[in-house]
């Protein structure tokens, strides 16, 4: 047995070249090379993470010179051989890395070939430059760290290609593919804007006349609406002025009262304007109170007249007239309105309702007292005929005369309205009107006679 082997830099060498190496590493359970029989080229065994070399001669001038030069500066030969093996192993392992670099370059060329052509071969030049740097770095004369060389080469090449790519994409001439794209997009936008402008011009031209005509109609409509609003506002102001304050509707009230006062004086009755006077009950309902017979002596009965220059509903009209009779202690109530449009909905003029109410029209713009005079005489006769149950009045005769009088009043009123604004044929219509009025007056006179006869026959 020779002397034990020496170990330098992780490599074991026997002290006697003819002596085989034996040691505890031979019993390792880790994967290792099969033990080879000694040959003229020596024996190399890989034990776990170590190599065991026996009787190996390396014929390489560069390696021999390197060992001698390193020995002259104090570095032991085994240490130099160990580093050479480590660096060589990394170089052999990097051959696969170099192959992968070529593969990446081919894939880049295949996937980005179109962009590379548009960029003037920037990627191709970068890939070729990278390959040349790798080839130079892994040359036989280089012995520094492979990983460090690859990292530096890749970083440098990446920066260079990035700068070239940014330069190409930010150029303002035709070498920048984005410039051509921007020019095409800008051209399409300009064309679209021009088409849109032309379409708007055609629309304006085709609809110009119609728009101007519409604007003219709208202007006329606005003027008409303004006139109507102004008229309506004026009417409302007049109505509000008449209805406001203590003299609410006084102008129409005064007109109605003046006509009633003239009619009452002829009949021997007394008419009082009570619109501003409170009744014994404290209310102010009713505008004119007529005391039948009051102009000649004692009062036989009271009539109340309510003048309205606005339209009431049917329920409001009945409520108003009932309140008038209640507050003025009247037997009969007459609603006098300022025109046909002021008659309550669902009601008619010259028609008796509920046995103690009737409606008359006195046009405020053209006051014709005929209808009011006929209504007054009718209501007066009706009240006098029923005021005293002790009178032996011919009830049937009074009823018939009353119905005939109402019918004559309605016909007379229709004819009177038909005369409004008529100039031709007015004489014939007026003749018929006068005849109808005479018939109505005859009926009313008959009622008066019947009442007077009953009063004479009554016991003292």
- Same domain, residue pair 205 and 256: no
pLDDT classification of 42: cutoffs 50, 70, 90: confident
pLDDT classification of 165: cutoffs 50, 70, 90: confident
Report if residue 156 sits inside a domain.
yes
Q: For residue 216, give its domain range.
A: 171-243
> Where a domain ends, among 139, 170, 201?
170
- Same domain, residue pair 318 and 413: yes
Q: Using alpha carbons, list the distances in angstroms from residue 131 to 101, 113, 137, 156, 215.
A: 8, 18, 10, 13, 79
CA angle 48, 49, 55 (to 5 degrees): 85
* Average pLDDT estimate for 416-438: 72
- Same domain, residue pair 151 and 233: no
**What is the pLDDT, as a whole number, of residue 9?**
44
Report if residue 77 sits inside a domain.
no
How far apart are alpha carbons 91 and 142 in whole angstroms?
9
Average model confidence (pLDDT) across the chain: 75
Token reading at 94: 């990097």
> Is a pLDDT exceeding 70 seen at residue 251?
yes
Token reading at 326: 């209640």
Q: 51 has which bridge partners?
A: 11, 46
- Same domain, residue pair 304 and 162: no
Among 460, 324, 274, 454, smallest CA distance to 381 is for 454
- Same domain, residue pair 302 and 445: yes
Q: Are 372 and 398 in contact (CB under 8 A)?
A: no
CA angle 428, 431, 436 (to 5 degrees): 130
Q: How many other β-carbons are positioned within 10 Å of the β-carbon of residue 202?
A: 10
- Same domain, residue pair 175 and 321: no
> Where a domain ends, among 118, 150, 170?
170
Contacts of 411 (CB under 8 A, 6+ apart): 436
Report if residue 274 sits inside a domain.
yes
Side-chain-side CA neighbours of 17 within 13 Å: the count stands at 7
Contacts of 187 (CB under 8 A, 6+ apart): none
**What is the pLDDT, as a whole number, of residue 432?**
82
How far apart are alpha carbons 113 and 128 in whole angstroms?
15
CA angle 24, 27, 29 (to 5 degrees): 130
Q: Using alpha carbons, list the distances in angstroms from residue 299 to 22, 120, 280, 322.
A: 163, 127, 18, 21
Among 396, 413, 399, smallest CA distance to 359 is for 413
Among the residue ranges 134-143, 241-250, 403-412, the one predicted with the least confidence is: 241-250
- Same domain, residue pair 402 and 283: yes
Quote the strand ranges of 267-342, DSSP E: 270-273, 288-292, 301-308, 332-337
* Average pLDDT estimate for 80-89: 86
> Is a pLDDT exceeding 60 seen at residue 306?
yes
- Same domain, residue pair 340 and 281: yes
Report if residue 33 sits inside a domain.
no
- Same domain, residue pair 226 and 258: no
- Same domain, residue pair 130 and 115: yes
Report if residue 276 sits inside a domain.
yes
- Same domain, residue pair 319 and 188: no
**What is the pLDDT, as a whole number, of residue 274?**
92
Number of domains composing the chain: 3
- What is the three-class DSSP state of 166? helix
* Average pLDDT estimate for 232-256: 63
Q: Position of tokens 């713009």?
A: 365
Report if residue 42 sits inside a domain.
no
- Same domain, residue pair 110 and 148: yes
Token reading at 399: 């009823």
Report if residue 434 sits inside a domain.
yes
**What is the pLDDT, as a whole number, of residue 409?**
73
> Is a pLDDT exceeding 80 seen at residue 446?
yes
- What is the three-class DSSP state of 274? coil
> Is a pLDDT exceeding 80 seen at residue 73?
yes
Q: What is the pLDDT of residues 358-392, one digit of tens each?
A: 999 998 887 888 889 888 988 998 888 877 655 56
Q: Judge if pTM exceeds 0.75.
A: no
> Where a domain ends, among 198, 217, 243?
243
Report if residue 284 sits inside a domain.
yes
Among the residue ranges 112-121, 295-304, 307-316, 440-449, the one predicted with the least confidence is: 112-121
Quote the crossing angle between the two packed helices 426-457 and 370-386, to the nearest 10°.
20
Output b/e per residue, 437-447; b: 16+ Cβ within 10 A. bebbeebbebb
């Amino acid at each position: 047995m020779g002397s034990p082997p020496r170990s330098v830099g992780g490599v074991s060498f026997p002290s006697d070249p003819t002596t085989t190496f034996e040691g505890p590493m031979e019993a390792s359970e880790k994967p290792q090379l099969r033990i080879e029989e000694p040959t003229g080229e020596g024996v190399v065994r890989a034990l776990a993470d170590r190599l065991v070399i026996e009787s190996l001669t390396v014929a390489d001038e560069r390696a021999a010179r390197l060992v001698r030069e390193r020995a002259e500066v104090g570095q032991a030969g085994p240490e130099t051989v160990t580093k050479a093996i480590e660096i060589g192993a990394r170089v052999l392992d990097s051959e696969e890395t170099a192959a992968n670099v070529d593969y990446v370059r081919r894939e880049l060329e295949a996937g980005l070939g179109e962009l590379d052509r548009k960029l003037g071969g920037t990627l191709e030049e970068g890939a070729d430059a990278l390959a040349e740097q790798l080839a130079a770095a892994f040359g036989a004369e280089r012995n520094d760290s492979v990983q460090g060389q690859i990292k530096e080469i890749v970083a440098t090449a990446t920066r260079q290609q990035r700068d070239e790519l940014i330069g190409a994409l930010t150029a303002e001439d035709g070498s920048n593919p984005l410039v051509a794209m921007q020019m095409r997009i800008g051209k399409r936008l300009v064309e679209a804007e021009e088409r849109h402008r032309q379409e708007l011009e055609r629309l304006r031209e085709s609809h110009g006349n119609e728009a101007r005509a519409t604007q003219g109609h709208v202007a006329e409509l606005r003027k008409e609406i303004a006139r109507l609003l102004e008229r309506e506002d004026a009417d409302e102001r007049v109505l509000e002025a008449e209805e406001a304050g203590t003299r609410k509707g006084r102008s129409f009230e005064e007109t109605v009262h003046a006509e009633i006062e003239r009619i009452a004086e002829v009949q021997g009755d007394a008419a009082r304007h009570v619109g501003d006077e409170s009744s014994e009950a404290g209310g102010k309902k009713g505008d004119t109170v007529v005391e039948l017979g009051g102009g000649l002596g004692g009062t036989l009965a009271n009539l109340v007249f309510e003048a309205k220059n606005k339209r009431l509903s049917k329920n409001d009209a009945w409520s108003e007239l009932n309140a008038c009779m209640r507050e003025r202690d009247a037997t009969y109530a007459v609603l006098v309105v300022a025109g046909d449009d002021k008659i309550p909905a669902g009601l008619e003029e010259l028609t008796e309702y509920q046995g103690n109410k009737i409606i008359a029209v006195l046009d405020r713009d053209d006051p014709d007292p005929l209808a009011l005079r006929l209504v007054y005489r009718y209501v007066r006769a009706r009240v006098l005929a029923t005021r005293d149950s002790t009178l032996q009045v011919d009830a049937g005769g009074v009823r018939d005369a009353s119905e005939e009088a109402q019918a004559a009043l309605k016909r007379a009123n229709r004819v009177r309205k038909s005369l409004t604004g008529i100039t031709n044929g007015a004489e014939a219509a007026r003749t018929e009107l006068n005849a109808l009025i005479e018939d109505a007056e005859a009926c009313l006179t008959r009622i008066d006679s019947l009442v007077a006869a009953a009063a004479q026959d009554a016991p003292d």
